[in-house]
């Protein structure tokens, strides 16, 4: 039994698009912002929420592409792992989405200046690479 899972963005992108990011002949097709990839992320989050499971994302997509971090936040992702170089930018993206979205009313439940997912971005920050 498990209570949640973490999606590796590049691990999901490769089979979704049928592209090996390390193969020079097709690597140019590897794009985590592809509409098919965004749909796979949406379906994964919807399924997790429907089954009362927590879901997070790791890898570089939300750190490299702020629009993906915003998209996932809008879908209600529970945690986002980012690298230190992109931490503040990602927190700001998450904060802006949460202030506009349905989490605005929940924001007042915390005494911090950061909304709920922004806290989880900080707590899951990877210090590798």
Helices (H), the chain: 9-17, 35-50, 61-64, 66-75, 87-100, 116-123
- pLDDT 10s digits, 24-48: 888 778 899 999 999 999 999 999 9
Domain boundaries along the sequence of the chain: 35-123
The residues pairing with 7 across neighbouring beta strands, listed in sequence order, are: 57
* Phi and psi angles of residue 99, each rounded to the nearest 5 degrees, phi first: -70, -30
Rounded to an integer, what distance in angstroms lies between the CA atom of residue 93 and that of residue 23?
A: 32
- pLDDT 10s digits, 78-87: 999 888 889 9
Of 10-14, 54-58, 73-77, 98-102, the range with the lowest mean pLDDT is 98-102
């Amino acid at each position: 039994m498990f209570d949640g899972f973490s999606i590796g963005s590049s691990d999901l992108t490769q089979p979704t698009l049928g592209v090996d990011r390390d193969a020079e002949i097709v690597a140019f097709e590897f794009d985590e912002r592809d509409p098919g990839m965004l749909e796979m992320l949406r379906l994964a989050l919807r399924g997790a929420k429907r089954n009362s499971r927590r879901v997070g994302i790791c890898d570089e997509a939300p750190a490299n592409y702020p629009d993906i971090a915003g998209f996932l936040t809008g879908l209600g992702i529970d945690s986002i792992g980012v690298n230190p170089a992109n931490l503040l930018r990602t927190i700001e993206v998450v904060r802006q989405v949460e202030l506009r979205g349905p989490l605005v009313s929940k924001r007042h439940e915390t005494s911090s200046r950061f909304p709920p997912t922004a806290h989880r971005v900080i707590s899951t920050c990877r210090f590798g690479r």
